[in-house]
Amino acid sequence: MASVTVQVPAKVNLQLAVGAVRPDGYHELVSVFHAVSLFDEVTVTRADTLTVTVEGEGTDGVPLDRTNLAARAVELLADRLGTSPDLHVHIRKGIPVAGGMAGGSADAAATLLACDTLWRGNTPREMLRRLGAELGSDVPFSDLGGTAIGTGRGERLAAVPSVGRFHWVFALADGGLSTPAVYGECDRLRAVAGADVPDPAPHEGLIAALRAGDAAALGASMANDLQEAALSLRPALRATLAAGTAAGALGALVSGSGPTCAFLAADEAGAHAVARALETSGTCRTTRVAYGPVGGARVLPRLRNAESAPGVL
Ligand X SMILES: C[C@](O)(CO)[C@H](O)COP(=O)(O)OP(=O)(O)OC[C@H]1O[C@@H](n2ccc(N)nc2=O)[C@H](O)[C@@H]1O
Ligand Y SMILES: Nc1ncnc2c1ncn2[C@@H]1O[C@H](COP(=O)(O)OP(=O)(O)OP(=O)(O)O)[C@@H](O)[C@H]1O
Question: Are the C-beta atoms of 300 and 6 separated by less than 8 Å?
Answer: yes
Q: According to the binding rule CB under 6 A, does residue 69 interact with ligand Y?
A: yes
Q: Rank residues 5 and 257 by Cβ distance to ligand X and give the closer one.
A: 257
- Burial (Cβ within 10 Å: 0-12, 13-18, ≥19) of residue 262: buried
Q: Choose the binding region for ligand X from 50-58, 119-127, 136-144, 245-253 (rule: CB under 6 A).
A: 136-144
Of 40, 107, 116, 138, which is the active-site residue? 138
Q: According to the binding rule CB under 6 A, does residue 136 interact with ligand X?
A: yes
- Which of 31, 105, 221, 240 touches ligand Y by CB under 6 A? 105
Q: According to the binding rule CB under 6 A, does residue 138 interact with ligand X?
A: yes
- Give which of ligand X, ligand Y, none residue 26 binds (C-beta under 5 to 8 Å, depending on kind): ligand X
Residue 100 annotated as lining a ligand binding site: yes
Whether residue 11 lies in the annotated active site: yes
Q: Rank residues 117 and 257 by Cβ distance to ligand Y and give the closer one.
A: 257
Q: How far apart are CA 313 and CA 309, in angstroms?
A: 8
Q: What phi and psi, each to the nearest 5 degrees, are found at residue 30?
A: -120, 115
DSSP class of residue 20? E
- From residue 32, alpha-carbon distances to 127, 158, 228 in Å are 22, 10, 18
- Which of 41, 107, 185, 214 touches ligand Y by CB under 6 A? 107
- Bridge partner residues of 16 (DSSP): 31, 224
- Nearest-10 crossing angle of helices 237-246, 268-281: 140
Of 11, 107, 116, 214, which is the active-site residue? 11
- Give which of ligand Y, ligand X, none residue 248 binds (C-beta under 5 to 8 Å, depending on kind): none
- Bridge partner residues of 52 (DSSP): 89
Q: How far apart are CA 258 and CA 146, in angstroms?
A: 21
Characterise 119 by phi-psi region: left (phi > 0), alpha (psi -120 to 50), beta (else): alpha
| Residues catalogued as catalytic | 11, 138
| Interface residue list for ligand Y (CB under 6 A) | 61-63, 68-70, 91, 97-105, 107, 138, 176, 179, 256-257
| Interface residue list for ligand X (CB under 6 A) | 13, 16, 26-27, 29, 31, 102, 105, 136-138, 153-154, 179-180, 183, 256-257
